[in-house]
Amino acid sequence: MITPDPQRPSRLADTLIAVVLAAAFGAPILVGVGGLVGWALHPMLGVLAAACTVVGMSILLYRHLRRKRHGLLVLFEVLVLAVLPCWGLAYSHFMGQAECSVSSCQVGETAFRPLAEPEVLGLLALMLLHDARRAARLDDAGELVLLEDQDRSRWDTARVEEGRAMLERALPLRKPGPYQLQAAIASLHLEPETDWPQIAALYERLALLTPSPVVELNRAVAVAMADGPEHGLALIDGIEGLDGYLHLHSARADLLRRLGRGREAAEAYDRALALASQPAERAFLERRLVEVRSSA
């Protein structure tokens, strides 16, 4: 004789709630909010806001399913993790634009903070740690200030502590992922003395999880700082697929400058300038170009 499962009705109800919420809220919000915000501000920010709004309104459902220990919770968490790369990409795109950067960070925190998923916590930590340096990235004249030259007194220490606390929540869960590694790298950059060998090692591990020429470029810069510019330059010159990427040429130019190869550095700065669109980036590159040409 089969004993009726007393949980069956509630599980069926939970499933129906999920379907109804997805149908009722998902598509209209994605189109409506995304379209309105995208039209008013920027298409990518509109998509970000729409995605995070859908997730935010689904947090109640998430908590309900977690209380019930429902099997649908796994599917929900998978869907949330699928949204993370879009959110991270949008934040990276807007990181140099103060208002949009703050907005995307705040929306992400509101939507995702209740989820105790390691990679969610990792991305939140990464955003908080990057955002902590926002006030120091530009000087009073609006020119770009490199991390090594930033005024640390302008860093938001509360943001730094919050980001590190978020990372400390993620690491004991023992599910390492790319966002946690990037957050760990961002945290090391905020130390009084930068541990470049450790940063290079973390980028090497990140390259195993998410192979990409951009990760290799970041690792090359860390190697240059740890072992010398000639080692980093050799790695950069071996990277393929980034000829149209501003930061490859600016990083290469900086290493050539450090090596005293002024003519080659000037050529690399020229190439970077041709790709730069932000006024602060252009001003910085133009200043460096004048410096290397005068010393060549």
The pLDDT value given to residue 176 = 86
The pLDDT value given to residue 157 = 94
| pLDDT tens digit at each of 296 positions of the chain | 333 333 433 444 444 344 444 444 444 444 444 444 444 545 555 555 555 555 555 554 555 455 555 444 455 555 555 555 655 555 555 454 444 444 455 555 555 555 667 888 888 889 889 889 988 988 888 888 988 899 999 999 999 999 999 999 998 888 889 999 999 999 999 999 999 999 999 999 999 999 999 999 999 999 999 999 999 999 999 999 999 999 999 999 999 999 999 999 999 999 999 999 989 899 999 999 999 998 86
User: Does residue 46 contact residue 94 with C-beta atoms inside 8 Å?
Assistant: no
The pLDDT value given to residue 13 = 42
Other Cβ atoms closer than 10 A to 73: 18
Phi and psi dihedrals of 234, rounded to 5?
-60, -40
Element spanning 218, H or E: helix 213-227
Distant-in-sequence, close-in-space partners of 227: CB < 8 Å, separation ≥ 6: none
User: Does residue 122 contact residue 167 with C-beta atoms inside 8 Å?
Assistant: yes
Tell me the CA distances in angstroms from 1 to 4, 284, one per residue in order: 9, 78
Q: What pTM does this model have?
A: 0.71
The pLDDT value given to residue 7 = 40
Cα-to-chain-centroid distance, residue 185: 11
Distance of alpha carbon 85 from alpha carbon 107, whole angstroms: 15
